[in-house]
Amino acid sequence: MDLEGVIGNSPVKKDSWKTVLTLAYQSLGVVYGDLSTSPLYVYKSTFAEDIQHSESNEEIYGVLSFVFWTLTLIPLLKYVFIVLRADDNGEGGTFALYSLLCRHARISTLPNCQLADEELSAYNKDVILSDNKSSIGSSLKYTLEKHRVLQKMLLILALIGTCMVIGDGVLTPALSGSGVFSAVSGLELSMSKEHHQYVEVPVACAILVFLFSLQHYGTHRVGFLFAPIVITWLLCISAIGLYNIFHWNPHVFKALSPYYMYKFLKKTQKGGWMSLGGILLCITGSEAMYADLGHFSQLSIKIAFTCLVYPSLILAYMGQAAYLSKHHNIESDYRIGFYVSVPEKLRWPVLAIAILAAVVGSQAIITGTFSIIKQCSALGCFPRVKIIHTSSKIHGQIYIPEINWTLMLLCLAITVGFRDTKHMGNASGLAVITVMLVTTCLMSLVIVLCWHQSILFAICFLIFFGSVEALYFSASLIKFLEGAWVPIALSFIFLVVMYVWHYGTLKKYEFDVQNKVSINWILSLGPNLGIVRVRGIGLIHTELVSGIPAIFSHFVTNLPAFHQVVVFLCIKSVPVPHVRPDERFLVGRVGPKEYRLYRCIARYGYRDIHKDDLEFEKDLVCSIAEFIRSEKPQCSLGIEDVECDGKMTVVGTTSSNLDGIRMCEDDGDFSQMAGTSELKELKNPEKLRKRVRFVVPESPRIDTDTREELQELMDAREAGMAFILGHCYVRAKSGSSLMKRLVINLGYDFLRRNSRGPTYALGIPCASTLEIFFQQKPIKPSMFSALEIPEDKYDVNNNTRSILQIPMQ
């Protein structure tokens, strides 16, 4: 699957109105499924225990006033008009805000960042609303860059928001936003309560199992009905709302006054404050407007919300309030739910539409959970997992088997364990409001550091929205024992996993940097490295972006032969959503020219897709060939000049570099690929099992040395490529604290053993892979002890995957 060309060349979503309206239509099925189903359970959760519906209607009017202003301030004012503008090259979400801050304040925790990464086109494409850089903003930036503690706190804050999103991914399919449980609860009006309790949970579980079982087909296959379902649902609830308003209480609109919030809190006091946890559910799914920004555009999401979603929800809540204001004889709590306000003849059709809309909301949050797990993994904050791209056209649609089945088991456990919407609502509310609080905190920093706005504006933003969200947060947290402990427990587990993996990854990289091999040691071995150089390309996977990894000296010392061409390959993520194909590779030379040692760094954004194995191999070889052809004479260094290791050249992929070297294997037709007569073909005169040919431009002319080097590279590619992966057992050094030993020796080691290796997670071809296992200790190259390895145990040109275990002394 090659989506790189689609991603890299996709136009900015600011085309015609037809395009914008099409995106707005599609966003209804992906973004607003969660938010649109909230009327199913808001009133029911609010009046569960804390307050009672009285004849004065002060409670129902107060709740309606709270719902109206909450929907107006948080989704409409905060997200639509402010937060959506803080996009990271079109991408949104918690990590998008953190990525913006990392680039502006140099606080990225990625260990292998380079100055060359700051020259990426996407690195500086951000929205700056003012050119006035205040001294306070500069001081804040300097403070963040200076203190590592603040950087860790900022990372933990971003991880907390991310973990709460994952926790919401567990709770949402059960209640919040999906409303599966709440939708099925409509059956309670059609059967006795004794029978209903035996039907509700099994039906909800069956729907959830079916939903998670469909995920491997991809959103593009199961989601073609999403937008029509949500539109039908929104029109349905708005029409029922209008009917209830005009039929039962046309004067219910007066409850929109903020005065009724004051009367509500004055009368209900502590009970009213605790009931805010139920009112909070009216904005579940609002974060999806920002998190799913990369799939659509700002304008399309704004149009969909302001023109359809927002008015439909307001009419739905007003209609329920109008009905309840004339019906006070409530037999039990379920009689105040959504379906009681639906005309009896329409209840079964509405129930069917509600279940479909509930499934749509579940699909949206599950897909969002997959995306955020991928982002975390790319930025080194989550163990590597298997990522399957389910669409060849839409890059954001992915499927992660491990996460999918884990979410299903947790979701079923919560559904069976709680069995009612009250506890699930408390749990979901805390997860939702925590994510919003984190967004508010990060957004206030973006206003100062990225937009260069006044610090006063940032403080006002933080205080105004922070105080509203803190009020709801306190009301949700007080119900810790009534279900709110679930998102805290889930988030704590995910946070520990993320931080342990991130900490272990950083320490491993620091060790690799401290123990990398000196270039002088390589030079002392001579061009042949003191061993037999045989035909072929050896790709040594490393996390280092400079220097020679210690494992290479281990190969040279212990193996009898090695490849003619050696490439130190680093596949790394950068804090941008996408890297353009013409900026994909950084290629440089390690040591003198005759050593045939190269370094290639493949850069990917946290939302990029890694290409297929064969396509990646071809791009890799072509990037090295293009580097050789375009290399400046002063970088063709000799023994006396060894500093060219740090000089890297930006080379694009084959599809993006139409004027560069092209490669064709076997008997390809170059006339169709090149499309020009100004090409010169280099052919290998010998007949080999695989023929590789380079097509290079005639101008500028290639000198003899360059032609010879290209010929060697072509011969090596014909012989085959071997991918050498070094696996190490990381242990904390003696004298470390108990906490560090637990984190490294138990936590990180357990995660490393049970996560996907680089061959699976980074798309490295495993057709001919040599894996070396060793224990990582702080040693020097001179401390390696040679091992006698028979030649038949190691074939550098083999086409099978082999494992070689070499202990280190």
pLDDT of residue 199: 67
Is the pLDDT at 797 greater than 90? The verdict is no
In the numeric block, the tokens 């799914």 are attached to 285
Amino acid occupying residue 404: N
- Which percentage of the chain shows pLDDT scores above 90? 18
- Report pLDDT for 456: 92
What number of residues does the chain have? 809
pLDDT at residue 201 tops 80 = no
pLDDT at 769: 59
The model's pLDDT over 654-672, given as tens digits with 9 standing for 90+, comes to 777 766 777 776 654 444 4
Looking at 177-181, 504-508, 646-650, which range is the least confident one? 177-181
Name the more confident of 608 and 230.
230
Confidence band, pLDDT 50/70/90 cuts, at residue 15: low
Instruction: Give the Cβ contact number of residue 448 at 10 Å.
Output: 23
Residue 651 is which amino acid?
V
Average pLDDT, the chain: 77
Is the pLDDT at 524 greater than 70? The verdict is yes
Q: What is the pLDDT of residue 608?
A: 80
Top pLDDT among 527 and 442 is at 442
Q: 785's torsion region: left (phi>0), alpha (psi -120 to 50) or beta?
A: beta
Q: Residue 128 above 70 pLDDT?
A: no
Percentage, residues of the chain above pLDDT 70: 76
Check whether 453 has a pLDDT greater than 90: no
Alpha helices in 563-703 (DSSP H): 613-630, 670-674
| Residue 353 in this model has a pLDDT that exceeds 80 | yes
Average pLDDT estimate for 233-253: 93
Strand 769-776 to 721-730 pairing = parallel
Of the ranges 41-50, 178-187, 470-479, 527-536, the best mean pLDDT one: 470-479
Question: Token pair 């971003």 is at which residue?
Answer: 158
- pLDDT, position 244: 93
Regarding predicted confidence, which is higher, 571 or 14? 571
pLDDT confidence tier of residue 239, bands split at 50, 70 and 90: very high
The full 3-state SS of 333-374, as one line of letters, equals: HHHHCCHHHCCHHHHHHHHHHHHHHHHHHHHHHHHHHHHHHH
pLDDT score at 116: 80
Which of the four pLDDT bands, split at 50, 70 and 90, describes residue 316?
very high
Distances, alpha carbon 578 to alpha carbons 12, 605, 610, 636, in Å: 13, 4, 11, 32
User: Which residue did the predictor score with more confidence, 105 or 63?
Assistant: 63
Q: Are 87 and 127 in contact (CB under 8 A)?
A: yes
| Tokens encoding 595 | 């050593």
Averaged pLDDT, 330-353: 74
Q: Which residue has the higher pLDDT, 106 or 11?
A: 106
Instruction: Flag the least confident range among 34-48, 152-166, 325-339, 784-798.
Output: 784-798
Give φ, ψ of 766 to 5 degrees.
-110, 15
* Range 575-581 average pLDDT: 86
Residue showing tokens 């506890």 = 423
- pLDDT above 70: residue 780: no
Q: Which residues are registered as beta bridge partners of 541? A: 569
Q: Of the ranges 93-107, 366-380, 509-523, 604-618, which one carries the lowest mean pLDDT score?
A: 604-618
User: 3: pLDDT confidence band, cut at 50, 70 and 90?
Assistant: very low
Q: What is the pLDDT of residues 418-428, one digit of tens each?
A: 776 677 778 88
pTM of model > 0.85: no
Predicted pLDDT of residue 51 = 72
Closest CA to 573 of 609, 599, 538: 609
Return the pLDDT at 495.
92
Stronger pLDDT, 41 or 259, i.e. the higher one: 259
Confidence label for 646 from pLDDT (cuts 50, 70 and 90) = low
Cβ-based neighbours of 526, under 8 Å, separated by 6 or more: none
Which of 500-504, 515-519, 599-603 has the weakest average pLDDT? 515-519
Task: Read off the pLDDT band of 49 (50, 70, 90).
Answer: low
- Encoding tokens for residue 791? 């030649």
Confidence band for 117, pLDDT divided at 50, 70 and 90: confident
Q: Which residues of 501-540 are buried (b: 16+ CB within 10 A; e: fewer)?
A: bbbbbebbbebbbebbbebeebeeeeeebeeebbbbbbbb
Helix or strand (DSSP H, E) at 7: helix 4-8
pLDDT band with cut points at 50, 70 and 90 for residue 640: very low
Rounded to an integer, the average pLDDT of 180-188 is 54
Whether residue 779 is predicted with pLDDT greater than 60 in this model: the reply is no
Query: Is the pLDDT reported for residue 11 higher than 60?
Result: no
Pairing between β-strand 388-389 and β-strand 398-399 as defined by DSSP bridges: antiparallel
From 319-333, 367-381, 495-509, the region with the lowest mean pLDDT:
319-333
DSSP string, 739-765: HHHIIIIIIIHHHHHTS--HHHHS---
pLDDT tens, residue by residue, 703-754 = 788 888 888 888 888 888 888 877 677 788 888 888 988 998 899 988 988 8
What are the φ and ψ backbone dihedral angles of 198, each rounded to 5 degrees? -90, -5
CA torsion through residues 301, 304, 309, 311, sign: positive
pLDDT top residue among 701 and 400: 400
Name the band, by pLDDT with cuts 50, 70 and 90, for residue 429: confident
Non-local (6+) Cβ contacts of 281 within 8 A are 38, 41, 42, 45, 176, 425, 428, 429, 432
pLDDT at residue 587 tops 90: yes
